Amino acid sequence: MTELYRDALQDVWMNATCYGCGPANDAGLHIKSYWNEDGTAVVATFHPRPKFNAGFPNVMYGGLVASLIDCHSIWTAIAWAYREEGRPHGSTPSISYVTGKLEVSFRQPTPLDMPIKLSARVESSHGRKSEVHCTLGTDDIITAEAHVLAVRIEGDKAQGA
């Protein structure tokens, strides 16, 4: 196995404008995903703000939950593919994935008053498709989980293709 990339996975594409994870989107969420210490999962911490409210006290909007899972899962597929190919993360040609399917199960409300943790791993890969499992919640409780079908594309998202 190659050495794990220690910086935020998204930081290899500093000009990316994705709402969820793009460093160059001034209005975006700017999530940052990292390999965990033993390289078995990709993790992130998100600090929600009151404006992400779902209309009930201290409850995160479900669309934001899905967005966080979506971006984090796609970066998990990208990082996993670089590792599987024995390539440094972010090396060219860039590896790009898009969301083919996003199935989110909401277990209970996600709070707004504490850090939200995400953890994802690739469960299987078949050609251009990777199946990612992602959980989201607090340190103690999983509030949502998802299965994401990530599809590798020929275009280079890093170059805006």
Q: Provide the pLDDT for residue 159.
A: 61
The two tokens of residue 159 are 């170059």
Q: Considering Cα of 55, then 33, then 31, then 116, what sign does the dihedral take?
A: positive
Condensed to tens digits (0 to 9), the pLDDT of residues 35-53 reads: 999 999 999 999 999 999 9
Question: What sections of the chain are H helices per DSSP?
Answer: 62-84
DSSP reduced 3-state for 24: coil
Domain ranges in the chain are: 9-159
66-101 as b/e: b if 16+ CB within 10 A: bbbbbbbbbbbbbbbbbbeeeeebbeeebbbbebee
Give the pLDDT confidence of 90-108 residue by residue, as tens digits.
999 999 999 999 999 999 9
Q: What is the pLDDT of the chain when averaged over all its residues?
A: 94
**CA–CA gap between residue 134 and residue 43 (Å, rounded):** 9
CATH of domain 9-159: 3.10.129.10
